[in-house]
Amino acid sequence: MSDLLINSPAGFKWGYTPITTMGEAHFDTGINFGILKLKGGETRSLAAPLESAYLLISGNATFRYDGKTVATERLSIFDEAPVALHLAAGSKAGLSANSDCEWAVFQVENDKAFATCLFDAANMLENEHRGKGLLQDTAYRIVRTIFDFRNRPEAKLVLGEVVNFPGRWSSYPPHHHPQPEVYHYRFTKPQGYGHGEVGDQVFMLRQNDTLKIPQGKDHSQVSAPGYGMYYIWVIRHLPENPYTGPEFTPAHEWTLAKDAEVWHPDLKLYPVVAKAEDASDPRRPRAKP
């Protein structure tokens, strides 16, 4: 097993489960990341010496911060916008689980002060249909940028989500950046899977997996046909070197052009020789060569 891929096939226990930690021995991203699960009726006070973000994955929850009480709900990470509370180090807030709830929690070192903000569909930065109209839509996906340096300039975190359509690519063309990144995956069905590239390594991605992406490594992914793939992406700004966007691998950068010439098969050169009703069935017995 690679030190980059962290499997959690059984899911996560109640309470907080750490997945990556600052200062860990192998491929330290400088990001604390874990999953917080609370049962309906439980509450949690938030006061950490670190910049923190709490991204709601599922459930009905109430956020309390700066004298405000805001009720939220998220039933589908695939079909609904994100809900995330972002706090500076030393800020105080609270979570209440009105039903069984699950959050992804991210933390980094940052001594800069900024106001606590709850992000949702009304104020998230972008909801992008990226890749639409390119490469026969084979890399068409939804990219949700919750916050980055443009709307949270004092932050050290960049937070977003991707909805990867079945059988299609995302984070494509392959790209890299000097800042470390963490991906966390979910699928439309528990047996769903995809594949992710980190440099020359390729990993099978399954439900609840987490992938660490070291600085400067090319990365992209694809979901298996039939399975929608969702992943959270979080990047840590480096001192004097904030993340401002991806750097695409030069060999594949041509795929970004709207007029890029992509091979289209001439189906007349591939005549169907089996009966139509049989050819469409992948379980059809094949003749021995």
What is the C-alpha separation between 233 and 29, in angstroms, rounded? 13
State both tokens at 288: 């021995």
**How many angstroms separate the first and last alpha carbons of the chain?**
38
pLDDT band at 279 (very low <50, low <70, confident <90, very high): low
Per the structure block, which two tokens stand in for 213?
């992406």
Number of domains in the chain: 1
Residue 99's domain is classified under what CATH number? 2.60.120.10
pLDDT tens, position by position, 147-181: 999 999 999 999 999 999 999 999 999 999 999 99
Tell the residue number behind the tokens 């998230």, with chain if given.
Answer: 124
In a domain, 138, yes or no: yes
Tokens of 90: 């030393």
- Residue 287 has φ and ψ, to the nearest 5°, of -70, 140
Phi, psi of 278 (to 5 degrees): -90, -35
Q: Which domain holds residue 202?
A: 5-257
- Tens digit of pLDDT for each residue in 13-72? 999 999 999 999 999 999 999 999 999 999 999 998 999 999 999 999 999 999 999 999
Find out whether 230 and 164 touch, Cβ atoms under 8 Å. yes
User: Cβ of 50: how many Cβ atoms within 10 Å?
Assistant: 19
The string of pLDDT tens digits covering residues 96-153 is 999 999 999 999 999 999 999 999 999 999 999 999 999 999 999 999 999 999 999 9
Return mean pLDDT, the chain. 95
Mean pLDDT of 223-244: 97
Provide mean pLDDT across the span 224-231: 98
Please check whether residue 277 lies inside any domain of the structure: no
Q: How confident is the model at residue 219 (pLDDT cuts 50, 70, 90)?
A: very high
158 falls within a domain: yes
Does 1 have pLDDT greater than 50?
no
pLDDT at 273 over 60: yes
CA distance 202 to 2: 10
User: Domain for residue 268, yes or no?
Assistant: no
63, part of any domain:
yes
The answer to the question of residue 128 being in a domain is yes
The phi-psi region of residue 150 (left if phi > 0; otherwise alpha if psi is between -120 and 50; otherwise beta) is: alpha
Structural domain includes residue 272? no
Judged against a pLDDT cut of 60, whether residue 79 lies above it is answered with: yes
273 within domain boundaries: no
Q: In this predicted structure, what is the pLDDT of residue 87?
A: 97
- Helix ranges (DSSP H) in 53-205: none
Structure pTM? Answer: 0.93
Q: Return the structure tokens found at 248.
A: 């695409």
Distance CA 139, CA 229 (A): 13
Lowest average pLDDT, out of 78-87, 237-246, 265-274, goes to 265-274
